[in-house]
Amino acid sequence: MSWDIVGAGVRSNIGADLGDSFAALCAGRTALAGLRAFDLDRFHTHHAYEVDDRKKPGVDEPLRATRWLVHAIGAALADAGLGDQPLTAPVLVGTTLRELRTAELWWYGEADLSPDDLHFGPALRRAFGARETYTVANACAASLYALGMGADLIELGLTDRVVVAGVDAITESAFGLLDRVHAEPPAALLPFHRARRGMLMGEGAVAVVLQRAGLPAAKRYGRVRSVALNCDARHPTAPDRANIAGVMREAHTRAAVEAGDIDLVMLHGSGTPLNDEAEAGAVREVFDPPWANPAMTAIKSVTGHTAGGSGLLSMLMATESMRRGVVPPVLGLTDPTPAAAGFHLVRDRPWHGPVRVAQVNAFGFGGVNAVSVIEAVAS
């Protein structure tokens, strides 16, 4: 079983499209800035990775997540040559917070709110004539969960093509929750760095058109060989190394590859002590370096944690690494944690070399784990 990525759209906090976003990753052009959306006096943490598209500085706007989602899906459909026809393919959107920020603005009396605004189906029907839409709210693994569900729809014979997307906007309630649990407020998200202090939120949207492998396509970004999912529900927030290792192995088995076949791992890399330790331990268990030691990077060092869309964004960045033979570095990784000792972490500058097969990790609160394996194909 395999599925081709035949269209891509991105509205990230580092670029308005896929090419710009990848160039920013390679150049280390981060979205990190002082918080723009909220009153800084309410928080210890003063930094985030926002999309800088507000009309007035410091004045937040409703429905920003919906706006980015429509942009990304429209770009993906146009890229796949489907932009001039009604959308008949199912649309699956992975998200953590949906339009919670709009609800917050409504609560403050700063925006109107319709119940239809709280999910994306009505907006997608208006924009594209979408007939079948689903929202997948599986925390920070949501967009890879949506990818797995979309692939299942194809394999069940229900459709030959799906649109898979991920989106999230920073909300005051989620930002405040994280602010309260940080022992020290982080000034940047530093995956696998000995001095990491925790997660900082990012935002943006990403979308792909996925279709059954072998069908005609004007272009192909890559081929999805597998999507493996599990949910251990062991702890509300703490990841479990054994279950992360298990979902990695399942992804390899489903893709008919071994650890030594993987050229690149797109790490989840949330910059939290527990996640980085668990993910590093699982990677060491599965890859057993130096027997298998692929290049590894973590794009959240540049984008922040883009929540429900983060897995799909990492996957598209992996397709660009395949196409260009370049892996962007982990920004600011000057002193790696001992748990990652010996890993081929790309640091300081981009790494140049062939990337034929890549693994993409995404993990979320509640023990929701997702890993995808993709391979390069002729475009």
- CA dist 204 and 13 (Å) reads 6
- Domain 3-212: give its CATH code: 3.40.47.10
Cβ atoms of 209 and 69 within 8 Å: the answer is no
Q: What is the predicted pLDDT for the residue at 37? A: 84
212 contact partners, CB below 8 Å, separation of at least 6: 3, 4, 154, 160, 161
What the block records as the tokens of 320 is 């660009």
Q: CA 92 to CA 148: how far, in whole Å? A: 10
Long-range Cβ pairs for the range 287-291 (8 Å, 24+): 287/259, 287/262, 288/259, 289/342, 289/343, 289/344, 290/342, 291/259, 291/260
Tokens of 62: 């409703």
224-375: same fold as 3-212?
A: yes
Is the pTM value of this prediction over 0.75? yes
Which pLDDT score is estimated for 254? 98
DSSP assignment of 44-66 equals S--EEB-----SSTT---TTHHH
Mention every residue, 6+ apart, whose C-beta is less than 8 A from residue 243. Answer: 230, 232, 234, 367, 369
User: Residue 237 pLDDT more than 80?
Assistant: no
Mean pLDDT of 70-84: 96
Look-up of token digits 């010996």: 342
Give yes or no for residue 236 having a pLDDT over 80.
no
Which range, of 11-20, 162-171, 175-184, 196-205, averages the lowest pLDDT?
175-184
Class of domain 224-375: alpha beta
- Give the start-to-end residue ranges of the domains of the chain: 3-212, 224-375
d(CA 136, CA 94): 5
Per the prediction, the chain carries an average pLDDT of: 95
- Per-residue pLDDT at 18 exceeds 90: yes
